[in-house]
Structure 1
Amino acid sequence: MRDLPKIELHLHLEGAAPPAFIRGLAREKNIDLSGIFREDGGYAYKGFDHFLQVYEAACTVLTGPEEFRRLTLAVLEESASHGVIYTEAFLSPEFCGGADLAAWRDYLAAIEDAAAEAERTFGITLRGIVTPIRHFGPERAKATARCAIETFGPFIRGFGLAGAEMMHRPGDFSWSFDAAREAGMHLTAHAGEWGGPDMVADTIRDLRPERIGHGINASRDPALVEDIAERGIVLEVCPGSNVFLAAVPSWRDHPIADLMARGVKVTVSTDDPPFFHTTMTKEYETLAKVFDFGESEFETLLQTALSAAFCDEETRGRVKARIEARRG
């Protein structure tokens, strides 16, 4: 499973930071973050709201472009070790200079530099999706949208929405999504991880994304599932994350296989892998064990992700060629 070529479309860059990396930065800066780690060195939190607090605490040591360059390299090296050859990461200008455009350009240059080095060294391609933090509010999202639009290009490909899903309604962010759409950006939005089918339906209606992050609670409304399948909207499903956070009771209860059987386009990702004790290898292994996924299902996941990637066609072609090369 580790060696299978994989594409990951739902990864939060800061949330993928290895705990040892964050501890090392904290030591360098003499910042006491001992409260966010368990005795074994992993991240310590209880429930989703506390997870967000620990996540943001970990980000306090990421204070400049150089730290983000190092972070990007560490994350991409780890992803590549699990067979990932292309990944899209959610990047928040809020964590990169407070959504100030000039500062964001500096951070982004460092991230792009690291991505180029990782592609040469580890054979993995990174593209970015600029993402406002939902619980920071719609007005702050507008500044993030401006950062996204001003840096949209070969590397920054999309605009999204992450954070605490139950704060604000999708339509509150319509201005930011409309602006990004008019600029030609691809769109995705978290919905249906905690909110019900209505949250997914409202997100589709008000924000008109091409992809939905998670989206699993759409499974509770057969008509909505049919609509998603007919529209070709892709769900960025993160089963290990959903189980770990108790968004679903267990792997056996996860709707991923049912959604695929009902014609929904699905991809698999890790979300915030060290927080949820997962990797792309582990996701694949568990899908095989629990749902008896085999070569056909994994090929479907791969091809869906390749088609749904927000990259330009030249990059898509290079990724496709890399997949074929891996297969020999």
Structure 2
Amino acid sequence: MTFKDREPLGEERLHAIRALPKTELHLHFEGAAPPDFIRGLAKEKHVDISRIFNPDGSYAYRDFVHFLSVYEAATSVLKTPEDYARLCAAVLEESAEQGVIYAETFLSPDFCGGGDVAAWREYLHAIRETAEAAEKTHGITLRGIITCIRHFGPEQAKTAARCAAETKDDWLVGFGMAGDENKGKQRDFAYSFDMAREAGLHLTSHAGEWRGPQEVREAVEDLGVARIGHGVRAIGDLAVVDMLAEREITLEVCPGSNVFLGVFPSLDKHPIDALRDRGVRVTVSTDDPPFFHTTMPDEYENLAKTFRWDEEVFTDINRTAMQAAFCDDATRDAILKRLERP
């Protein structure tokens, strides 16, 4: 049976699916910044970054590489720990309004303090303090994953890994890699991942968004990650798909982002359903939501309409996400209880 053979869901069911409590494992912190927030901050600082916005106020870019430069331009107005605290408050308020109860977000010391450990500690403290306040106010739990930036190169990645190793605790729980997947090889960054692993951090890496199945295999075999950011191009080699299933590697899938950027031409051509049917642990995230004009409720509704996933499928996907989450067991158990539908 293919997804086209399943019964379509009515509007009442779709509304119920949008309202489900949600978990998100793949969220770039600066990439979640509302455009109005960045534009307002730029105005406060008298910085002209008007070129990165469309006339309607949304972010403007041509393709993935240009997206990276726009992302970095938007991030350039975030100069202080206070700026990041304000960003954290804005992002978590918005996520909580969309029903997200647990999220893990990617943070880069390259943007927060320029890779200096002492400066990074100040940024981390500001973000964590704001996140803890938001948990009390909005009921959303946030955890951090430090990322090195692939196109900044392996040597710069060691700086990020050092920041991660020296500040690892029960809030900063993981280490990963983001950036331009077409630069270098996964194994070029093995030293940094080894450093993070020895510090007790959980590991993830972007792979298989732009490059093919072999990139996914290399992330698993050369870096020893437990999760893959995206990983969707694994579908091109069923041996890699089966390897992911057998090793219980979780994919942080961002369907709306993949379609928006042209990784796949449309959602019905996206392999998330096929990967799940093959036994791969898939989860759902937004990636950089305002850049890709998506939200978690939108992701859920679009997947439900396209693949005819019902409430039980999404509940199962959220359980999968929490089983793969990098948080401590007490946090995991608390969130799992909140995910149970009455």
TM-score (norm 2): 0.94
Using the alignment, how far apart are the partners of 1:87 and 1:121 within structure 2? 16
Correspondence for 1:51: 67
Among 71, 85, 97, which residue is 1:69 paired with? 85
Gaps of 5+ in 2: 1-16
Matches within 5 A, 1:70-85: 70-85=86-101
Using the alignment, how far apart are the partners of 2:272 and 2:320 within structure 1? 14
Correspondence for 2:218: 202
Structure 2 residue 188 is the aligned partner of structure 1 residue 180: no
Matches within 5 A, 1:1-328: 1-324=17-340, 327-328=341-342
1:137 maps to a residue whose letter is G
1:301-327 deviation per Cα after TM superposition (whole angstroms, max 9, x unaligned): 111011010000111122123334xx4
Using the alignment, how far apart are the partners of 2:338 and 2:320 within structure 1? 16
1:207-263 deviation per Cα after TM superposition (whole angstroms, max 9, x unaligned): 010000000000010111011100000000000000000011111110000000000
Using the alignment, how far apart are the partners of 1:262 and 1:321 within structure 2? 27
Using the alignment, how far apart are the partners of 1:321 and 1:6 within structure 2? 12
Using the alignment, how far apart are the partners of 1:305 and 1:187 within structure 2? 15
Using the alignment, how far apart are the partners of 2:311 and 2:337 within structure 1? 19
Moved over 6 A (4+): none
Using the alignment, how far apart are the partners of 1:317 and 1:229 within structure 2? 24
- Alpha-carbon RMSD across the aligned residues, in angstroms, is 0.8
Using the alignment, how far apart are the partners of 1:221 and 1:312 within structure 2? 34
Maintained 8 Å contact 2:23/2:100: yes
Q: Percent identity?
A: 62
1:177-208 deviation per Cα after TM superposition (whole angstroms, max 9, x unaligned): 01111111100000000011111111111001
Gaps of 5+ in 1: none
Using the alignment, how far apart are the partners of 1:317 and 1:216 within structure 2? 28
Maintained 8 Å contact 2:84/2:126: yes
Using the alignment, how far apart are the partners of 2:157 and 2:238 within structure 1? 32
Using the alignment, how far apart are the partners of 1:144 and 1:227 within structure 2? 29
Using the alignment, how far apart are the partners of 1:309 and 1:169 within structure 2? 26
Q: Name the count of aligned residue pairs.
A: 326
